[in-house]
Amino acid sequence: MNPAKNVSIMCFHDELCQVFNALMTGLSLLRNGARVTIFFGSRGILAVHKDHVNHLVCMPDMPEQGAAVMKRMDEFDLPLVEDLFVMLVAEGATLLACSLNVPLFGMNAVDLVDGVKIADPARYYKDVVIPADMNLTF
């Protein structure tokens, strides 16, 4: 049996399609035996804010296309971002929020989606990114 792959996913956006793709990719890899860590930094930090996660917008600079994507997601009955967070935590993913960006956006640990922990980016890069078998960025 092959040993599990270590996968690092970095999400630096709060645009719905980017966040959704990062989370779905993480969940798919997790369900295929990988150890998954997802790190939210820069604007991605807003995707893990309890009050903001339900208001992510798809392609805000292209509202007509964004609405079409949202309609298509509904037609496919895809899970909501909030549900993806629950699934990822329940299935063993590690979810991290950048300690530099949390206060920058006026947030603290109680503002984060359940299961997301604040992490030092230098340590994340050293302990997760460098030894990872796969690094993905959204």
Q: Which of 56, 8, 16 is nearest to 34 (CA)?
A: 8
Left (φ > 0), alpha (ψ -120 to 50) or beta: where does 40 sit? Answer: beta
In sequence order, what are the residues at sequence separation of 6 or more whose Cβ sits closer than 8 angstroms to the Cβ of residue 96?
37, 38, 39, 40, 116, 117, 118, 119, 124
6-137 domain in CATH 3.40.1260.10? yes
Segments making up each domain of the chain, as ranges: 6-137
Q: Is the pTM of this model over 0.85?
A: yes
**Separation CA 5–CA 34 (nearest Å):** 5
Instruction: Report how far Cα 97 is from the mean position of its chain's Cα atoms.
Output: 9
pLDDT tens-digit profile, the chain (138 residues): 567 899 999 999 999 999 999 999 999 999 999 999 999 999 999 999 999 999 998 988 888 887 888 888 888 888 999 999 999 999 999 999 999 999 999 999 999 999 999 999 999 999 999 999 999 999
What does the pLDDT read at residue 119? 98
| Both structure tokens of 48 | 């893990």
